[in-house]
Amino acid sequence: MKSIVALSIALAFAAPVVHAQTVPADDPIAALVGQLDLEKYKATIKSLTRFGDRRQGTARNRQALDWIEAQLKSYGCTGTQRLQYLYTEAAPGTPRAKRAPGIPSGGAGGPPGQGGSTLFGNRVPTGVNTDPMAQPDEKLRALNAEPTPVGTSQRENVYCTKVGSKHPDQMYIVSAHMDGIGFGEAANDDGSGTALVMELARIFSAPGVETERSIRFILWNNEETGLNGAAAYVEQRKDLQGIESPKGSGLYPEPRWLGMIQHDMMLFDHGMPIPKLDAQGRQVVDAHGHPQYVAPPEQRPEADVNIEYQSVSKQADGSAKLAWAFRAANDKYASYYPAAVGFHMTNTDSTPFMDLVPSISLRENERGQQIGAGWNPHWHQPTDNYANFSDKDFLLGLNAAQTTLAGVAQLAGVRVKAK
Ligand SMILES: [Zn+2]
């Protein structure tokens, strides 16, 4: 029995093809999804980790941005450009400005989590590693040595656009954040989302691929400091939507926003933390007698892509509709892992958009309830390194890429011309 299970898993990994029984052979979406490749996706993540944790305001962050831009151009993604904004890094020890009051949360199952969620079940404390010396790899420690300069200076996002053939004045935004923290490689948070967006930019930009509506691929900076890059974009460009410029040119520098799809932490869904055991098999307790928990070592077989929207946003109804469209796209086109829809989207670059346009985020776990309960031990830690993820982890990210590619291709109206 065990060997049959192992064999079927091996086969599923070897042939990540779409469900042939439900998808016609000439379906252009299936053809595009078929171009997503696990090794290519992994290679893009690996390349991003060459820039360490890509902390905002540092040379390693700017070098990563340069590399991403060069890649987007090499894919043929048009109109590659940067959006500039100012960011102020406070002196160390300065109390942080208070964020807007959170969304009321919490049910009977556990304490309240972020975004309106409830923290059910076993939990592990979470936090951000701020100690460069916590990185045991000396080479990586040296790569991450430069701190963010204190004071106000310029930061940049980078984006490129697939221009719609029929409705160039309307677009979907497909995005992720390229900065990271924690003094590791920021492989999962958010190399995994950045690579996903880059892979989609590559496939949609290939000769012969045509979409009726535009798609903009954006890599945000300063997500980790409070969504500053995405907020600057909304601030600078929301009033330019749908304006033809120059008049009569047929060019729309900021097409009207139809939907915003963010990707952040795509790989790791090992499930709820399990009891931490000592050598005698007894559960470890801390100094106060509290039982300790630890993340399971393997991707769980029932891992899923979590599609979230925010139920108290002004665009909640449109966002829910968008979320379910993506769930349906996953059902039809993803090769291995399913998707689930949740309504507590929080702490992500789609937040500044959510009152203006239908907005969703795709993740490995629900951000409030699951990541908030400590399901990912690498989150903002020096262990968020490429080498700490398995092919089963990377495959979850690839399935999220299949989901977004198919979802956006359907909504934007895709055609693939015969060569
Ligand atoms: Zn992130």
- DSSP-derived pairing of the beta strands 209-211 and 414-416: antiparallel
- Mean pLDDT to the nearest integer, 166-177: 98
CA of 348 to the centre of ligand 1 (A): 7
CA of 185 to the centre of ligand 1 (A): 13
CA of 415 to the centre of ligand 1 (A): 32
Backbone angles phi, psi at 146, to 5 degrees: -70, 125
For residue 117, the tally of other CB atoms under 10 A from its CB is 26
CA of 190 to the centre of ligand 1 (A): 5
CA of 41 to the centre of ligand 1 (A): 18
CA of 25 to the centre of ligand 1 (A): 37
Type and span of the H or E element at 382: none
CA of 285 to the centre of ligand 1 (A): 30
CA of 333 to the centre of ligand 1 (A): 26
Q: Is 60 exceeded by the pLDDT of residue 183?
A: yes
CA of 147 to the centre of ligand 1 (A): 19
Rounded to two decimals, the pTM is: 0.93
CA of 262 to the centre of ligand 1 (A): 10
Weakest-pLDDT range from 3-17, 95-109, 210-224, 376-390: 3-17
CA of 228 to the centre of ligand 1 (A): 13
Q: What is the pLDDT of residues 308-329, one digit of tens each?
A: 999 999 999 999 999 999 999 9
Band (242; pLDDT cuts 50, 70, 90): very high
Which residues have CB less than 5 Å away from ligand 1 (the ion)?
A: 189-190, 264
CA of 161 to the centre of ligand 1 (A): 23
Q: Which amino acid is at 82?
A: R
CB burial of 51-60 (b: ≥16 within 10 Å; e: otherwise) equals bbbbbbbbeb
CA of 177 to the centre of ligand 1 (A): 7
**Average confidence score pLDDT of the chain:** 93
SS3 259: strand
Q: Which pair of tokens denotes residue 37?
A: 């490749």
CA of 308 to the centre of ligand 1 (A): 14
Q: What is the pLDDT of residues 49-74, one digit of tens each?
A: 999 999 999 999 999 999 999 999 99
